[in-house]
Structure 1
């Protein structure tokens, strides 16, 4: 099955995005952190990089890539440098790949996944749909069987609050997810 046909199926596309998130976000977060950014900025840059990658992936002129993680990290580095106002890019693809491997080894994904799992599967699905699939609240209400957008909004808020409470209870910080 071709990459484009996978992207047309919602569930397969969702699985692809989750796989890319697991592969590439740790490297992007590590890079942004090292360059003086915070977790929120890392999430924003990663989302932008993922959108750019997705747009390139579905374009007909795009050729396959050997290392998606390094490619997304490269896009994220470019976006971060552009955000900071610098036009100088000193990093090479080789350093991007090695940094991606290093960051992945040092990010405690087990803690992050545990934290998200404490909110429950339905919450994870709602948050994934909203933040990673960019589904509207109306779409989420329909997809998850809520009576209206207000109910879906309240449920999304409750899910976020569950995660925040877990973070507060355990006194976790961004640094807790990096070894």
Structure 2
């Protein structure tokens, strides 16, 4: 296996080299995967975070004033850590007995006169039909993710997790915006 310096990897990546991408993956994915898994994630989550990290890196290195002021490992780790932390914050789930979504996310309560069930129902009315089905199956009917994935025809858990994430994002936007 050929080893590259950080400067060489950045230069090759700027040029669009597939070899640089493979080298970065081989060198740094295990570190990022370990971090994500130590903080409640799975391998699929680590792959997502690594992909997002690479997108940020590729975007940043295209800037003419980009200067790597730390090692590439440190730079990638920081980006990945920030992405994973954001995902954990964004994915906080509404569990029985917890506060309603607007209080959780720090947004004002737009419907203070409505009971929590009515609030949730009004938010559900503002998301797509597909997301409504997914969220109801997961949270109201407590359907396991594997069963839902099979029922929806998703090919793996990663796809199911992505769908759940997108639907939760829709619900958060509905909860944060007044009617």
TM-score by length of 2: 0.42
Structure with higher RCO (Cα < 8 A, 6+ apart): 1
Structure with the higher fraction of residues in helix conformation: 1
**Rg larger for:** 2
TM-score computed with the length of structure 1 as normaliser:
0.42
